[in-house]
Structure 1
Amino acid sequence: MPTASGHTTAIRASRVIGTNVYNREGEKIGEIEDLMLDKLSDHIMFAVIGFGGVFSVGEKFHAIPWSVLDYVPEQGGYVVPYTREQLEAAPVNSISELSEDDGQKARNLSFDYYKVPKYW
């Protein structure tokens, strides 16, 4: 069933992982590496976006609230409403750090940094 903006209300995680992510200027900033799920509230806590690096060497991982990603078919990926500078200044984690404390630390830092309303 489509949402008011024409998006579907459900999507398989396997279709999301690996999708490119762009900023508002159309620059590719990374891709979705994974999704962190909140099993107790049935929400997606955040998308794990990989930035930079070559063949995963030097790559940085950001937790970005799922609600700010907007899929744009013409772009062939998700667009986030942030500048490159905002993204570069955002909290950075290793993959293992993103799941510490059941992902709550990364989630809280991300939602605070991006000033996104909390779902919990």
Structure 2
Amino acid sequence: MNTHTPSGHTNAITASRVIGTAVYNMSGDHIGSIEDVMLEKMSNGIMFAVIGFGGFLGIGEKYHAIPWSALDYDEEKGGYVVPFTKAQLEAGPSYSINELTRGDGTLARDESYSYYKVDPYW
């Protein structure tokens, strides 16, 4: 059984290695970093990655719920690449940290998967 991502990386990774990792768009622009991951307790899955961008030194920063399956690790960049343009990301749903957990995280998850047109895992 193949346990690698499309870029050849293994399926398993610790959350501590993911948090703080840089995120880039398809143009190679650094758009932010992974601030956290939202876990779904009942299914043992990852609901989405929490990516922070748009603020300055943590002030005014908004957080985006990006479908986990949309991220692909790029070894050369040392970070994740998402298949979205900067304009798509800036126009996408954004939240405060507290808003990400409302409705047990399903509201942000559902808005995110719908906006980015990613097939739901649930």
Give the TM-score, by structure 2 length: 0.95
1:110 counterpart residue number: 112
1:54 counterpart residue number: 56
CA contact (8 A) 2:19 2:35 kept: yes
Q: SS state of the match for residue 36, structure 2?
A: strand
**Per-residue deviation at 1:4?**
5.6
**Per-residue deviation at 1:103?**
0.1
Q: SS state of the match for residue 104, structure 2?
A: helix
**Runs of 5+ consecutive residues of structure 2 not aligned to the other structure:** none
Q: SS state of the match for residue 77, structure 2?
A: coil
- Letter of the 2:96 counterpart: S
1:35 counterpart residue number: 37
1:79 counterpart residue number: 81
The alpha-carbon distance between structure 1 residues 39 and 74, as it changes in their structure 2 partners (threshold 3 A), is same
2:46 counterpart residue number: 44
Q: CA RMSD in A?
A: 1.1
CA displacement, residues 60-90 of structure 1 (integer Å, 9 cap, x when unaligned)? 1000000000000001100000000000110
Number of residue-to-residue matches in the alignment: 120
Give the TM-score, by structure 1 length: 0.96
